[in-house]
Amino acid sequence: MGDVVVEPARGTPEEAEHFSELMEMSAPEYFPDLLGRKFKELFRALFLEKENLFSHEHVIFAVYEHRIAGMLLGYDWKAKEREEKRTGWLMLKALGFDFLRQLPAFISAASGSGKLEKGDYYISNVAVYPEFRGKGIGKALMLKAEELAGQSGARRVALDVEKDNENAIRIYKRLGYSVEREHSIELGGRRYRFYRMTKPLEKIE
């Protein structure tokens, strides 16, 4: 059994490929509905850029037996305030008309799942490749994110999870997260329902 090593992304093109694959894995129906058909190209481009909410600067990778096994995208409320407008501008530049068409949905999503309070650290996406599941990789990523949250000065960690993702909800509850509220968004004729789950940092050991 190998050890899981969690390390910050370096921002390489190879990592960008893993990032786009794992982002798709984290929300395979939601992202195409929200961002359109070129969403994976968008994620690759944004990962390589600095100072945006999908940048490698906010990504940690889990490495298992010298292979990337999973990733987590997370940032604090200060980064959200600082980089939100630039993220939107980069999306518009990359997607053009597709993004303008999706803009009402994107604004709706940002006001629901993307909303942060002062003192929040937000775990945006977590994904582990299927062949590496059951090895504690997701937990290792979450614990590292909580450590980074504490270093950022955040008071709590927040995340959004689809209401029907019972496995993830069970894992988050086991890690000390509790449901704070429910919210939803209409995309592509489908209503996506989410739980906002939070964990106070003082409870983190």
Q: Is residue 192 part of a domain?
A: no
Average pLDDT score over residue span 115-123? 93
Q: Evaluate whether residue 97 is within a structural domain.
A: yes
In a domain, residue 45? The reply is: yes
List, as one string, the DSSP characters of 17-34: HHHHHHHHHHSTTHHHHH
Owning domain of residue 138: 4-105+116-155
The whole-number pLDDT of residue 2 equals: 67
Cα 69 to Cα 5, 135, 138, 147: the distances in Å are: 10, 10, 9, 20
**Is 151's pLDDT higher than 50?**
yes
Question: In sequence order, what are the beta bridge partners of 64?
Answer: 4, 67
In a domain, 68, yes or no: yes
Distances (CA, A) of 139 to 25, 30, 124, 178: 17, 23, 15, 16
- CA-wise closest residue to 159 among 129, 126, 128, 137: 126
Number of domains in the chain: 1
pTM of the predicted structure, to 2 decimals: 0.93
CATH number at residue 79: 3.40.630.30
Residue 174 lies in a domain: no
- The answer to whether residues 25 and 129 touch, using CB atoms and an 8 Å cutoff, is yes
End-to-end Cα distance, the chain: 26
Q: 35 in a domain, yes or no?
A: yes
Residues 18-36: tens digit of each pLDDT = 999 999 999 999 999 888 8
pLDDT digits (tens, 9 = 90+) for 43-98: 999 999 999 999 999 999 999 999 999 999 999 999 999 999 999 899 888 888 77
What pLDDT band is residue 112 in, cutting at 50, 70 and 90? low
Instruction: Please indicate, yes or no, if residue 62 is contained in any of the structural domains.
Output: yes
Residue 203 maps to a domain: no
What's the pLDDT band for 105 if we cut at 50, 70, 90? Answer: confident
